[in-house]
Amino acid sequence: MPSNLSHPELSRWLAGVASIAEAVNAPGPVEALLDRVAQTACHLMNYDFCGVFLPNSEGDALVIKGASGLSRSYIDRVNADHPVRLISNEPGEAPSSRAFLSGHAIAIADITTEPLFRPWGGVAKEQGYRSMVSVPLKTADAIVGTINCYRADVHHFDGRELELLATLANQAAIAIGTARLRELETRRIGELQGLNSSLEAQHTVLQKAEAIHKGMTSVALRAEGVQGVARALSALINLPLIIDDPQGNIIAASEGVDVDDLPTALTLERNPSLVTPGDSALLELRGPGSARSLPVVVASVRLAGLVVARIWIPTRLSDLGPLDARAIEHATVVTALELLREGTATEVEWRLRGSLMADLLSSDDAISEPTRTRAKRLGHDLSAPHVIMVGSAGREAGASSDAPSPLENALKTVTRFAANLDPLPLVAIRHGYLVVLWPSSTTANRRNAGLTKDVKSAAAHIRELIAETTAAKNGTVAVSHPCDSPTHYASAFRVARGAVELARRGDNPNRTVNLDELGIDSLLLQIDDPQQLLKFADRVLAPLHEYDRLRKTELVMTLRTYLENDLQLASTAHALHVHTNTVGQRVRRIQGLLDIRLTHPTDLLNVTAALAVAKIAGYQLNE
């Protein structure tokens, strides 16, 4: 610092240098320090404007980085349109370039007379200065920039003034270098902190990934089943969920989800037709035409290219993080493995139950003790009275031969229903029919309350379950008469099977036939060709059907009612709400059309059998 300063000037200069040092130590960007340098130069030297110029990122030009008194528009125009190109000893070299490259101060007393300043004449006039000086900012190793000072009037910069500016510039250069080092250190510290945070985040990710792996692996190793998958996945993603099969039957649910009273968010989109084998692993669905409905994410579980289950989660895809998605996808794999394991166990169980059912229905002989023991091991007590329920379900049109048949799906559904009952019914497939050996004393539990209050209710519910497995929603179930001994199972099965075949070929295949209401007529159902029974019924009753169709009469219904009332005219008339003479006329007309006498045993047997077949087959009897 020059020694010829007066005491007041020295104090002022020391204060200015101190303010620069203070700016170095203050938090904030380097630009704030550069503004302080420019302000200090204006204050100490009584300049109108000052600017600090530093090299740009390419190093081929100087741009204004700090300023005092310079307008924002001036700074932007210089930096954008007239940057100071660093060109040495070439025409058009700016004063700042010469100062930066030579290391010496360059002063211009009047810019209007300086040809080299012509490119900046317009902005200079706009800013309002006539004279300027550019002083290099030197450190021990390099020149880091320039400080340019401007006055509004013509001004000659003498040696003392340039010496003071050089001193200030040197102090500023040191301050800038220190500030840059501090900023670099701060940036590195920030990078290290960011790296540390990133490492911590990665550690957290790895921990959660390990938790996903351990959680799902534990389910698989412990064979906890699909319910174990639902419980583990719900804990990992902190969301409720359910898992169902392709028919929409719930096979597992997370804790807190009551299967009997599912939350709206879960039931809203749980439509089996919405997810097909071609869908992606994760799909977001929303209720059709309902903006208020909650979105649901569904993940398809596949085995051999077929969808065997779906996981339903009430959330949005955008709300699931990468690890959540990974956990769900991992869960689909484990679910597939568990279903494969369960399927293998189920197939073994089905074979055992099927083998037992085959032995029970293959002969009218007494059941052997080993067979009774096998039944007991499977949870069935053959000493109790039973009825035989026989159901049928045809393959859906267009169904893949690789897909489970409706009968197999019905077996799965009915077995799941029966598993909740006590005593346990025996469910199996026999000769293409679903057969249920139903204990007469079976009672309902909470989930199936009302469905098993009697045999008829249970049979109706089983028929509905079978119907759900076919696209046509057709299901036929025949219920045999009660069997007090296993020796009656085979004959009861033959009768019920015959009734099912008759019903399937009749006018109403979707029905339940209760054979305990039939007497000796049920023996007809043991004939192996039900089509012959239908032809027999048509042959006997066809004249009456044709007469009723053409004349809108009720001869078939009159005949049936007449037989039910023991051939009594009065009681038949009372049942039909007509006069006795009307019944007598109808009976004579019936006997004439059929060429029979209802008092003749053979004719009466033929008509009775034909009416029984027609009733089982569901033929319309003018009812």
Residues 379 and 493 in one domain: yes
Mean pLDDT calculated for residue range 264-290: 53
pLDDT score for 81 = 83
Q: Of all residues in the chain, what percent are helix, strand and coil, respectively (each to 5)?
A: 55, 15, 30
Average pLDDT, the chain: 77
pLDDT score for 146 = 92
pLDDT in tens, 583-620: 889 889 888 888 888 877 777 777 877 777 776 665 54
Residues 582 and 552 in one domain: yes
Say whether 229 sits in a helix, a strand or coil: helix
pLDDT score for 154 = 92
pLDDT score for 395 = 47
Residues 170 and 38 in one domain: yes
Q: Is the pLDDT assigned to residue 10 strictly greater than 70?
A: no
Residues 377 and 455 in one domain: yes
- Of 302-306, 388-392, 485-489, the poorest mean pLDDT is in 302-306
pLDDT score for 397 = 38
Last residue of a domain, one of 528, 555, 570: 528
Of 337, 264, 322, nearest to 295 (Cα)?
Answer: 264
Which range of 50-54, 297-301, 542-546 scores highest in mean pLDDT? It is 50-54
pLDDT score for 467 = 82
Last residue of a domain, one of 187, 206, 238: 187
Residues whose CB is less than 8 angstroms from the CB of residue 59 and which lie 6 or more positions away in sequence, other chains included: 86
Mean pLDDT calculated for residue range 92-98: 83
- Of 76-80, 314-318, 507-511, the poorest mean pLDDT is in 507-511
**Angle of the 489-505 helix axis to the 601-617 helix axis, nearest 10:** 70
Residue 516's pLDDT band (cuts 50, 70, 90): low
- Of 159-163, 259-263, 305-309, the poorest mean pLDDT is in 259-263
Q: Are strands 143-151 and 306-313 parallel, antiparallel or unpaired?
A: unpaired
Residue 505's pLDDT band (cuts 50, 70, 90): low
Residues 263 and 286 in one domain: yes
Which range of 145-154, 235-244, 513-522 scores highest in mean pLDDT? It is 145-154
pLDDT score for 623 = 40
Location of structure tokens 């804790």 = 255
92: left (phi over 0), alpha (psi -120 to 50) or beta: left
Residue 212 lies in a domain: no
Percent of the chain's residues with pLDDT above 90: 4
Q: How far apart are CA 375 and CA 139, in angstroms?
A: 100
Q: Is the pLDDT assigned to residue 358 strictly greater than 80?
A: yes
Residues 339 and 434 in one domain: no
Residue 206 lies in a domain: no
Question: Tell me, what CATH number does 263's domain have?
Answer: 3.30.450.40
Hey, what long-range contacts does 586-590 have (CB within 8 A, 24 or more apart)?
586/553, 586/554, 586/555, 586/558, 587/558, 587/559, 587/562, 589/547, 589/555, 590/544, 590/555, 590/558, 590/559
Residue 209 lies in a domain: no
Residues whose CB is less than 8 angstroms from the CB of residue 556 and which lie 6 or more positions away in sequence, other chains included: 541, 544, 545, 548, 621, 622
Question: In total, how many domains does the chain have?
Answer: 4
Higher pLDDT, 369 or 26: 369
pLDDT score for 452 = 55
Residues 430 and 398 in one domain: yes
Residue 217 lies in a domain: no
What's the pTM value of the predicted model, to 2 decimals? 0.44
**Which residues form the domain of 504?**
362-528
Last residue of a domain, one of 283, 317, 346: 346
Residues 459 and 509 in one domain: yes
Mean pLDDT calculated for residue range 145-159: 90
Residue 196 lies in a domain: no
Q: Write the secondary structure of 33-48 as one string of H (helix), E (strand) and C (coil).
A: HHHHHHHHHHHHHCCC
Residue 203 lies in a domain: no
pLDDT score for 532 = 63
Residue 421 lies in a domain: yes
DSSP state of 522: G
pLDDT in tens, 401-434: 455 677 888 888 888 888 878 888 999 888 888 9
pLDDT in tens, 195-207: 666 666 555 655 6
584 and 573 Cβ atoms separated by less than 8 Å: no
Residue 214's pLDDT band (cuts 50, 70, 90): low
Residues 154 and 123 in one domain: yes
Higher pLDDT, 397 or 619: 619
Q: Is the pLDDT assigned to residue 391 strictly greater than 80?
A: yes
Mean pLDDT calculated for residue range 209-214: 63
Q: How far apart are CA 578 and CA 564, in angstroms?
A: 16
Question: Tell me, what CATH number does 383's domain have?
Answer: 3.30.70
pLDDT in tens, 429-484: 888 889 999 998 765 444 444 555 678 888 888 888 888 776 556 678 888 888 88
Which range of 294-298, 521-525, 533-537 scores highest in mean pLDDT? It is 294-298
Residue 202 lies in a domain: no
Residue 221's pLDDT band (cuts 50, 70, 90): low
Percent of the chain's residues with pLDDT above 70: 73
pLDDT score for 66 = 87
Residues 44 and 95 in one domain: yes
Residues 523 and 592 in one domain: no
Question: Tell me, what CATH number does 563's domain have?
Answer: 1.10.10.2840
Residues 457 and 366 in one domain: yes
480 and 515 Cβ atoms separated by less than 8 Å: yes
pLDDT score for 518 = 55
pLDDT in tens, 163-181: 888 888 887 887 777 777 7
Mean pLDDT calculated for residue range 526-543: 70
Q: Is the pLDDT assigned to residue 280 strictly greater than 60?
A: no
227 and 288 Cβ atoms separated by less than 8 Å: no
